[in-house]
Amino acid sequence: MKINEEIPTLVYDNHCYVCMKFIKIINFFAHDKFLIVGHYSDFGLKIRESYLNESALKMFWLIDKKNAFGGRAALIPLIKRICSKRIKHVPIMGIEKECQQGCKTIKEVIKRTISIFSNSEVLEIKK
Q: How far apart are CA 17 and CA 6, in angstroms?
A: 29
pLDDT, greater one: 15 or 97: 15
CB of 62 closer than 8 Å to CB of 80:
no
> For the residues 94-107, what does the mean pLDDT come to?
61
Q: How far is CA 25 from the centre of its chain?
A: 12
> For the residues 11-39, what does the mean pLDDT come to?
85
Predicted structure pTM score: 0.76
Three-class DSSP category at 101? coil
Interval 45-75: pLDDT, tens: 888 888 888 888 888 999 888 888 988 899 9
DSSP state of 15: T
Q: How far apart are CA 85 and CA 103, in angstroms?
A: 35
Q: How far apart are CA 59 and CA 123, in angstroms?
A: 13
DSSP helix, strand, coil percent of the chain (3-state; round to 5): 40, 15, 45
